[in-house]
């Protein structure tokens, strides 16, 4: 049995637009502007924001790449790219805001030419700031930052406007590299000008974790070790590595998903109420959770690697059969871990995290399992123990929130059933979830760092993982077991034992 909890007033898009802060006139510079990320995410997002009248009244998008192009051929290229992305009607005036600068990102002369072009556009269009988007390989970040500094693009004096930079993950490959990268960034830019983007934080349902917890009074009294038995966080993908072999084999599931996405979700669920809904108080509260997590250890970690499987007459190759992957690779594509938050609120409450590729379903869900009633007056009348209440936050797909509880089954004297009350985003509001990048890019334009990752969070997240990364890379004491889709596996042998030994089981989907 399921029903929608609320029927909210559905705001129209013009009304939604009025609730947003309009950015001041500025330029967005996309370095690596002809790459996959730019075409697949950035240009459709910018077209959407332009259509919704959310971008500045005057703005320019300066696209940088090593291509033989000019403004006209660039606009034609982006127009074709948007059409392939399913945008049938390009918003009027959008393509005219796009400008091209050819250049090698390691060439000092290029940055002088870029500076000249930006100064011309700033004067002609009366722009107040410049936002640099690093849509490049992370290995180029230090080079770009140093060249920007040499050209004076990293300070207000150089452009007579404010500069900000957006940096895509990964933010290092371990604790040592993260500290080194942050040190280099801070030698050129102050932290308040750096926007480390994790698209998960831009998802509506992830943002709703804070709203659910801190805009409703009835959750907070039960959001602690006295009432919560355990928490499960699942981020599962049904696809494999999809041609990302060389990159993925250097990272694996712990670096690719745990260090950022899963620890971000855990910190949002477990954090104390921040003093204000602002970037630094929220970041402080999240980082305090990471600092309360003891170092992960091998006994509480299960690793796996997907094997080949024959599904519906089609063979899906195993990880070691993928292009660019060694036949003896130990890189995990699945991980499950038990973590604890050793503070006053959560002491003794386990957080079980799992994530993997080539799993039966694509799903991201946070499940808060509450404790059983301390004494059941119905125990003599029931064959089974009463089910514990569960609050589930579905982040993707079928975004929503559900609560399970016990109720009397109609008819017989005493017969209890577990029912679920369900809130579905699409059914309630009647509109699809906007692309996560839309929220994040708009926030970067207006200078709101609330949904971006601060440097100390990055380092603390790597600190949590450091012991198991070292154990896996050096002593190889953590086995990487195979798993496949043939039996509908949700991970390798041993993953269930992680909870069974605590008297619990994984949720089923």
Give catalytic residue positions: 261
Length of the chain: 509
Question: 3-state SS string over 15-65?
Answer: HHHHCCCCCCCEEEEEECCCCHHHHHHHHHHHHHHHHCCCCCCCEEEEEEE
> Of 62, 50, 57, 53, whose CA–CA distance to 91 is shortest?
50
CA distance 49 to 67: 26
Alpha-carbon span 14 to 51, nearest angstrom: 11
What residue spans of 258-309 are helical by DSSP H? 263-270, 279-291
CB-based contacts of 483, cutoff 8 Å, min separation 6:
304, 305, 306, 307, 334, 356, 489, 491, 492, 493
CA neighbor of 484 nearest in space, from 142, 313, 240, 256:
240
Q: Parallel, antiparallel, or unpaired for β 59-65 and 98-102?
A: parallel
- Cα(440)–Cα(501) distance, rounded to whole angstroms? 41
Peptide bond into 458 cis (omega under 30): no
Burial readout 306-345 (b: 16 or more C-beta within 10 A, e: otherwise): bbbbeeeeeebbbbbebeebeeebbbbbbbbbbbebeeeb
| CA–CA–CA angle 367, 373, 376 (5° rounding) | 140
Q: What share of the chain is helix, strand, coil (3-state, %, to 5)?
A: 40, 20, 40
């Amino acid at each position: 049995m399921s029903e929608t909890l609320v029927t909210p007033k559905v705001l129209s898009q013009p009304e939604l637009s009025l609730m947003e802060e309009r950015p001041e006139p500025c330029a967005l510079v996309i370095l690596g502007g002809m790459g996959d990320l730019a075409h697949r995410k950035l240009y459709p997002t910018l077209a959407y924001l332009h259509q919704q009248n959310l971008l500045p009244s005057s703005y320019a998008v300066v696209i940088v790449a090593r291509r033989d192009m000019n403004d006209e051929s660039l606009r034609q290229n982006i127009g074709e790219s948007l059409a392939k992305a399913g945008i049938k009607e390009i918003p009027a005036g959008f393509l005219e805001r796009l400008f091209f600068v050819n250049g090698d990102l390691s060439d000092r002369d290029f940055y002088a030419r870029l500076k000249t072009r930006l100064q011309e556009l700033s004067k002609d269009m009366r722009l107040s700031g410049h936002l640099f988007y690093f849509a490049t390989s992370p290995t180029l970040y230090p080079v770009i930052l140093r060249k920007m500094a040499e050209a004076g693009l990293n300070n207000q004096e150089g452009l007579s406007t404010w500069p900000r930079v957006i940096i895509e993950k990964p933010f290092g490959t371990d604790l040592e590299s993260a500290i080194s990268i942050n040190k280099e960034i801070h030698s050129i830019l102050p932290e308040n000008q750096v926007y480390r983007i994790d698209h998960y934080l831009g998802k509506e349902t992830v943002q709703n974790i804070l709203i659910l917890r801190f805009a409703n009074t009835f959750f907070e009294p039960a959001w602690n070790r006295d009432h919560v038995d355990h928490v499960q966080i699942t981020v599962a993908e049904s696809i494999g590595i999809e041609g990302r072999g060389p990159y993925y084999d250097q990272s694996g599931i712990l670096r690719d998903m745990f260090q950022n996405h899963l620890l971000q979700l855990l910190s949002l669920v477990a954090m104390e109420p921040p003093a204000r809904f602002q970037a630094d108080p929220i970041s402080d509260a999240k980082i305090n959770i990471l600092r309360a997590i003891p170092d992960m250890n091998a006994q509480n970690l299960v690793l796996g690697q997907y094997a080949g499987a024959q599904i519906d007459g089609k063979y899906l190759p195993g990880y070691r059969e993928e292009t660019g992957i060694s036949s003896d690779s130990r890189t995990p594509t699945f991980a499950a871990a038990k973590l604890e938050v050793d503070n006053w609120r959560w002491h003794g409450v386990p957080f079980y995290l799992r994530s993997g590729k080539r799993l039966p379903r694509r799903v991201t869900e946070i499940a808060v399992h509450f404790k059983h009633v301390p004494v059941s007056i119905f125990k003599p009348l029931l064959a089974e123990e009463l089910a514990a209440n569960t609050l589930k936050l579905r982040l993707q797909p079928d975004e929503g929130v559900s609560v399970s509880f016990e109720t009397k089954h109609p008819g017989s004297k005493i017969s209890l059933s577990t029912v679920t009350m369900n809130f579905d985003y699409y059914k309630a509001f009647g509109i699809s979830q906007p692309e996560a990048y839309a929220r994040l890019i708009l926030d970067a334009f207006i200078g709101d760092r609330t949904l971006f990752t601060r440097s100390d969070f990055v380092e603390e997240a790597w600190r949590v993982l450091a012991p198991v990364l070292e154990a896996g890379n050096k002593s190889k004491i953590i086995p990487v077991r195979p798993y496949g889709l043939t039996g509908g596996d949700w991970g390798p042998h041993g993953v269930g034992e992680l909870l069974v030994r605590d008297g619990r089981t994984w949720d089923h989907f």
